[in-house]
Each structure stands twice: as C-alpha cells, then as structure tokens.
Amino acid sequence: MMTSGLQHVAAMYAGVVAPPLIVGAAVGLSAKELTFLTGASLLTAGLATFLQTLGIWKIGARLPFVNGVTFAGVAPMLAIVDQTKDKDDALPIIFGAIIVAGLLGFLAAPFFSKLIRFFPPVVTGSVITLIGVSLMPVAFGWAQGPDPAAKDYGSTKYLALAGITLVIVLLIRRFTSGFVKQIAVLLGLIIGTVIAVPFGVTDFSAVGEASIVGFPTPFHFGAPQFAAAAIISMCVVMVVSMTESTADMLALGEIVDKPADEKTIAGGLRADTLGSAISPFFNGFMCSAFAQNIGLVAMTKIRSRFVVAVGGGFLVLMGLCPIAASLIATVPRPVLGGAGVVLFGSVAASGIQTLAKAGLEKDNNVLIVAVSLAVGLIPIAAPEFYHAFPETAMIILDSGISTGCVAAVVLNLVFNHIGKGKDAEDVTHPMEAGEDLAEPRAEKAAAPVH
C-alpha cells in the first residue's frame, strides 16, 4: 500500500508543482516564497485527495481518484497577473476568485451532473487541447533562462540544458517500463539539475533557508480580494475543471468496474469544488482530478481507493516539510523548460485523443473544433488583438482557455442541440470512457473497490 501510494505521488508530482512555479515566477516571488507556494500546493492536493477518496457525507466520488492543482487555471491566472498593476495584489485577487468559483461550483455540482450531455468530447477535447497549447509558451520561456532582461537570455547554454533534459525524459520513456517509466519527468528534472551544476545556473539557497517542519500560514500573501473580472474568469475555469473531472470519473468508473452514476459524479464534483474553495486559505490553487493517475490504476490493476488515500497522505507530509518542497525550487528554469515541453505537450495530446472520439466525420463538429481552437489561440498568436478592450475584460479575453471554452460550449449548443430532436443523429453523444480504458472492466480483476 505504501509503495503503490508513493507511485501515485511520483506520477503526478511534476503536475502538482508546475502551476505554482509558473504563477509564482510570473508574480516575481523569491526562491523562499516559491518554496512556500509549492509546499502549499502539495498540502492542499493531499487534502483534496482525502476528500475525493475517503469522502464525508455526500462529498467525494469514493474512487481511487488523485486531486491536485489543475492546469486549466494557469493561463487565466497568468492573465490576472498581467492585468494587475501591483503584483503584490495578484495572488490575493487569484485566491479570492478561486474561493468564489469553488463555492459556486459546490452549489452547482448536483445540477452540473445532470447537464453532462452539453459537454461532449467535441467540447472537452477542444478545451483540453487549448490548455496544453496555451502552456507551451511558458515552457519555451523557461528554456531560454531565468531572467528575460538578462544579456544571456536565450543563449545556447540555456537552450542546450533544456534540450538535454527533453532528450533524457524521452529516453527514459522509450527504454524503461513500469514505475521508472511513470516518473520519467521527475527523473528528467533530477538528472537535468545535476547536469546543470557545472554550468553555474543552479541555486540551492532555498534548501538552506527551509526548515524541516512547517505549516503554510493561512493567507500568507494577504487577505483575498474579490475582483469581478477575475471571478468570472475563474468560474469559467471551474466549468472546464468540472467537465474534465466528470470525464475522468466516467473513465475511472469503467476501469474499476464501478460505473460512475449521477450520484457518484455529483459527489466527486463536490469534492473538487470544496477542495478548490478551501485551498486558497492555505495559499493553494484550484483542484481537479489528475488523469495520469487514472492510467496508472489501469496499468497496475490496483483499484483500492485507500491506496490513493495513502498517496494523499504523502502529499500532506511533503506539504508540511518545507525542505522537501524547496528541492523543486533548485531546478533551473531551462531544465524545467525541457521537461515542460513533455508535460504540457502531453496535456495537448490528451485533448487530441479526446477529439479522436468526438465524431469529427460530422461537419458540425469540425466547425466547433475549428472555431473554438481559433478563438482560444488568439492570445498566443496575436497578443495585442484585444488591446482596445477595457482592462477588466482583458483578464478574461487574455485567457484562451476561457474564451475557447465559451466558444465550444455555445457552438455545440447551436449546432448540436438547439432545434434538434432528442433522437437526432448528429447530436453528439455524452462523454464516454474510451475503449482502451474500458478494457480492464472485462477482466474482472480480483481486487474490488473498497
């Protein structure tokens, strides 16, 4: 149980620490503050995992479900940072928006579980693809060095470190199997950091300043602030997160031979949203299901939710141990950039996999994907496109994930629902688990879900 739980942590660790690193760097946090923010994300991910696996009352899917910081919120949070004049206010504004979005999501959970037919693969696939693509510029920025204003920014030294790290991750994925293959990104970060030491780009000061035991001070970065535009943006992210979690619950239910019904989905969404609402109190971000851990359940055939709960326990312990969180702060930005190409690219690839099940042989669905991707890519392809709009609107418009999600949902309603009969052939079906994920169900593995 301990080793299996630790394997779940290893599979998702890089995904948990990446969002606080991205947002913290954008805000301009020091290595010490970045360590604090990373530890807070680990702690809140563990608490959210407890809610999801063990459950209380009607909260929790009670499936082997790992929760952590969702990538869907990164681009909108960066937009909030960009539009906040005083960067000291950026995190309080983000935390205030997440609290409101989490509470509204918690109230909407039982109703959202009934609206799943409006979020088919054509919508979720488009949004997940946009999440990955929107984050790629972050990885490319990391690869060029720690300081955009420095003379050596983008030098061959930094690009070489990023390239070496990328190659290491690819080689581990290609020539290993099992546990080692699952932690390829983590191993790439470790080996890349060791290689970077002779280049003089590593900073171990955060480790020296970190204590062995610590607790994230509530509202360490200031009391939450509530800005309307930021709240709207994070509410859109919450819809995206809830949609993605629902799809993950459907897939995981098939894997563990316990199909997720409306009650299970509602409980799982309550855990996601409540975990998200609580996270900002401890300086954490919005929480959602981690799809990579679903693949781990399918691969290992270990289906007990208590194993995943043990993984949540490890996350809590790491969050309460600042020196453990500080280790990730020592990883040079170019090394993070090389690993980020794989990490963020995998998110985009996951979206493409979902689109493969979206019925793209239908012209309507092709149009939905085409337009929603185009709208979502505007902030990346033409950053000044919305320059004439008010600053408050820019928080929403500068997030391709938010605008792309709204476009996909609206277009799906227009083309596949409004004016169509219940049995119309070109109404896209609700989300279903992929055939490759559903296969383990037929095997009837001996270990039941507890």
**What is d(CA 106, CA 100) in angstroms, rounded to the nearest whole number?**
10
Residue 429 lies in a domain: no
Dist. CA 252–CA 290, nearest whole Å: 11
Number of domains in the chain: 1
Question: Global pTM?
Answer: 0.68
Q: In terms of DSSP H, where are the helices of 176-214?
A: 178-182, 184-196, 205-209
At residue 56, φ and ψ (nearest 5 deg) are -140, 140
In this structure, is residue 447 part of a structural domain?
A: no
Instruction: Return the number of other C-beta atoms located less than 10 Å from residue 312's C-beta.
Output: 26
- Is 428 inside any structural domain? no
Residue 11 lies in a domain: yes
Bridge partners (DSSP) listed for residue 67: 289
CB atoms < 10 A from the CB of 56, how many?
12
Question: Could you tell me if residue 446 is inside a domain?
Answer: no
Per-residue confidence in pLDDT tens, the chain, 450 aa: 887 777 677 667 767 887 888 888 888 888 778 888 888 888 888 888 898 888 888 888 888 888 888 877 887 888 888 888 888 888 899 999 999 999 999 998 888 877 777 778 888 788 778 877 877 887 888 888 877 778 888 888 899 999 999 999 899 988 988 778 777 777 888 898 899 888 888 777 666 666 777 777 888 888 888 988 889 888 988 887 887 777 677 767 766 777 777 788 888 899 889 989 998 998 888 888 776 666 667 656 777 888 888 888 888 888 888 777 677 667 788 888 888 888 778 778 878 888 888 888 888 889 999 999 999 898 888 888 887 887 667 767 777 777 887 888 889 889 887 766 444 444 444 444 444 444 444 444 444 454
Structure confidence at residue 210 (pLDDT):
64
Residue 442 counted as domain residue: no
* Domain housing 125: 2-419
pLDDT for position 446: 46
Angle, helices 2-27 vs 90-112, to 10°: value is 130
> Residues 74, 285: contact at Cβ < 8 Å?
no
Residues 57 and 263: beta-carbon distance below 8 Å: no
Look at the block and give the residue holding tokens 């505007």.
378
In a domain, 180, yes or no: yes
Residue with tokens 């969050």: 319
User: For position 427, what pLDDT does the model report?
Assistant: 42
Q: Are strands 67-69 and 287-289 parallel, antiparallel or unpaired?
A: antiparallel
Is 444 buried (19+), middle (13-18) or exposed (0-12) by CB count in 10 A? Answer: exposed
Question: Does residue 117 lie in a domain region?
Answer: yes
Q: Which two tokens stand for residue 384?
A: 């000044």
